[in-house]
Amino acid sequence: MSHLLLYYQRPEPATWVFLSSFLLLGIYFVFHRFFSIRNLDIILLLLLAPGLMMVYEGRQLRLVEHEAVAIGDLAIQPAWHFGNQTASPTGGRFVATQNDFAGPNLPATDASGQSGYPTVPGDASSAGALEFYGFVALLIACSFLLLRMLLDPALVRRPLLVPNLSIGGLGFIGISLFMFLMANVITSNPREQRVRGPSLGPGYALLNMLPDLPTIPEEDAQAEGSAADLTGVSPGAGSGSPALHWIPNVARILAILSNLAIVLGIVGVGYWHFDNVQTGIGCAVMYLLLPYTAQMTGNLEHVMPAAILVLALLAYRQPLVAGVLLGLAAGLVYYPMFLLPLWISFYWHRGVARLTLGVCSSLTLLSGLLLLEGVDAFVMHIRRMYGFWLPRMEELEGVWGPNGIDPLFRLPVLVAFVLLSISFVFWPSRKNLGTLICGTAAVMVAAQFWHGNGGGLFMAWFLPFVMLTIFRPNLDDRIATMVVRGPAAARG
């Protein structure tokens, strides 16, 4: 694929952080009104980048260490393990030579006996510490965003501050960015999709299978998978493994469609609900420019729920459609389930029955599809889908992982999150489209604090709504009784 893209090479994450940050400042910073809420919002979004880079570098250090260990394991494998490779018998073991390990993915050993493979710059503790402080930085930035979303309903004066670029320029940059980001998805390999981010805790079993299924069976040991990646040999080659080759392609197609839905959904909200297409295009380009988007574009657990939630907001005038989409998002990754108090309260005076019907229909459909896994696994999958278990204290990641914060402190954070979700039933008393957008962003930001599998990384769940909150006009008149069509009007 790189040949078709004129030898396109992905930029290093650190390089893209600097480039995207300067582009964001140049396009969206209000230079003639330095002390403005818009400029504060831009700074808050840029504060997410340092933590993201620290987490990325910490995981890269861990991967280098694991691959170095895999090389050491390969060097002492029995000779028969390597099939047609030449072995030097030394006590029945295989002695690695330059010809044995030189290949496209593994550098050879020079005359001095030094390997060209990069050495591990530190131990596991340094990589874990860097990753931990990265998650801490992410959650600090998320706390500022959460406070900003909670205070947004009090900001009555919302002057129109258009980007420092014409609508044609924004459209050109947006289309170009989308093409290159999708090229990263197309040219990615299953191993990259597998190690890009942590897996979810509660959630939909069938969705969680897609990013975790490479072209070789996942049941193979991790060391064997790393060896296959390093040597370019698939353990399942020639034994029926080609039947699984379609799975990464399905993941790529879903990722591309999800990102397209996010971008078009944001533009649609600006065009139909904000009455300003330039605002929608500006929000979409800002989302594509963020460093997070370049790193997590191909992760389905990030982009699929985000796409469905954005489409639900786009269809908010039709409660049944919005309910179906909201139920799909809640069934896939569980955490949007806590949006129900806010959305039910918004539709309370008109449309609540249709919203509830749509949510229940989606959840019932997703629950029924779990029977495809078999009756024996159905109960386990249902528990995972709806989170029917006590909060886990082991096998956590992020700030709650090993050598992090004691998982017992996760319980009061969970209680505070539930209280925040329920509080949207009563506050604010008069809910409009603006409070629906910023409230959705606030709930999904708050979910990061108690997320036990990399909380802080799942930014796609709230970033589109944060963008729309930043750019939205005054929407006090967009309440359910005014904009939601009744059942009779919908049939007509």
pLDDT for res 384: 86
Q: Is the pLDDT of residue 103 over 50?
A: no
Instruction: Name the least confident of 306-310, 347-351, 364-368, 401-405.
Output: 401-405
d(CA 185, CA 193): 9
Average pLDDT over residues 310-321: 97
Q: What percent of the chain has pLDDT over 70?
A: 74
Helix (H, G, I), strand (E, B) or coil at 78: strand
pLDDT for res 198: 43
d(CA 284, CA 262): 8
- For the stretch 420-459, pLDDT in tens is 999 999 989 899 999 999 999 999 999 999 999 899 999 9
- For the chain, the domains span 165-491
Say how many residues make up the chain.
492
* Most confident listed range (231-245, 346-360, 392-406): 346-360
196 token code pair: 């890009």
pLDDT for res 297: 87
157 phi and psi angles, rounded to 5 deg: -80, 120
- For the stretch 161-190, pLDDT in tens is 889 999 999 999 999 999 988 888 887 775
Which residue in this structure is represented by tokens 């900003």?
Answer: 148
CB atoms within 10 A of CB 62: 18
214 token code pair: 């490479």
DSSP letter (8 states) at residue 121: S
Terminal CA-CA length for the chain:
49
pLDDT for res 390: 85
User: Residue 339: which residues within 8 A CB-CB, separation 6 or more?
Assistant: 309, 326, 330, 421, 440, 443, 444
Helix (H, G, I), strand (E, B) or coil at 47: coil
The confidence band for 217, taking pLDDT boundaries of 50, 70 and 90, is very low
Q: Is the pLDDT of residue 156 over 80?
A: yes
Supply the DSSP string of 125-140, one letter for each residue: HHHHHHHHHHHHHHHH
| Among 154, 135, 94, CA closest to 459 | 135
The confidence band for 394, taking pLDDT boundaries of 50, 70 and 90, is confident
* Most confident listed range (65-74, 77-86, 142-151): 142-151
d(CA 192, CA 182): 15
pTM: 0.83
DSSP letter (8 states) at residue 154: G
- Confirm if 443 and 465 have CB atoms less than 8 A apart: no
- Confirm if 371 and 378 have CB atoms less than 8 A apart: yes
CA distances from 214 to 189, 210, 222, 409, 482 (A): 8, 8, 12, 36, 49
DSSP letter (8 states) at residue 270: I
Strand partners, 78: 93
Helix (H, G, I), strand (E, B) or coil at 90: strand
pLDDT for res 389: 84
Q: Is the pLDDT of residue 145 over 50?
A: yes
Q: Is the pLDDT of residue 45 over 80?
A: yes
d(CA 288, CA 477): 30
Q: Is the pLDDT of residue 195 over 90?
A: no
